[in-house]
Amino acid sequence: MPSGQPAEVGALLDRYLLSLDDDKLDDDWARSLFTEDAQVVFPISQHEGIDGLAAYHREALASFAATQHLNSPAVVEIDGTRASLRANLISTHVHLPAGAPPGGEQPGNERPPLFTTGTFVTGEACRTPSGWRLRRLSFRLVWAAGSPPARPAD
């Protein structure tokens, strides 16, 4: 087993989390990180398949003015063309000001409320002809502080 493989797999998680805070989330983004049959599971929702994965993430992040995701190094175990990974994650979500559109300015000098979570991340990756890709990411909430965004009425 080449020594760079665990680092390559761990870097997928790093790239994924960094991109949530600062990158354009489009279909090219999704395909550079995930397999066609990808599954992303959060405590309140999930998405299966590469189709619509970028839109799913954009919609979830639109509930916040900003986010910052800080993860521990991933513990990666390689078994041939498959890998498992585990990491800890602290996510800080800055709420949008009441009535403001995404990216809107905060009125006055008020600081927007935060929603912060501690999460345990597990995942699976596969080696594909294009290199390692994430097949599954699952986020298990360990703790939370603040209030999550209000869920839209059905």
**Percent of the chain surpassing pLDDT 70:** 86
Query: What does the pLDDT read at residue 108?
Result: 56
Domain boundaries, the chain: 5-101+110-145
CATH class of residue range 5-101+110-145: alpha beta
DSSP single-letter state for residue 43: S
Task: Say whether pLDDT at 53 is over 50.
Answer: yes
Q: Could you report the per-residue pLDDT of 68-124, keeping only the tens digit for each?
A: 999 999 999 999 999 999 999 999 999 987 655 555 555 555 667 899 999 999 999
Q: Exposed, middle or buried by CB within 10 Å (0-12, 13-18, 19+), for 80?
A: exposed
Query: What does the pLDDT read at residue 110?
Result: 64
Q: Identify any residues that bridge with 144 across adjacent strands, giving them in sequence order.
A: 117
Residue that wins the pLDDT comparison between 57 and 112: 57
Q: Could you report the per-residue pLDDT of 20-39, keeping only the tens digit for each?
A: 999 899 999 999 999 999 99
Q: Identify any residues that bridge with 118 across adjacent strands, giving them in sequence order.
A: 90, 143
Sign of dihedral through CA atoms 111, 22, 86, 2?
negative
DSSP single-letter state for residue 107: S
Task: Say whether pLDDT at 4 is over 60.
Answer: yes
Q: Is 15 strand, coil or helix?
A: helix
14: number of Cβ within 10 Å: 15
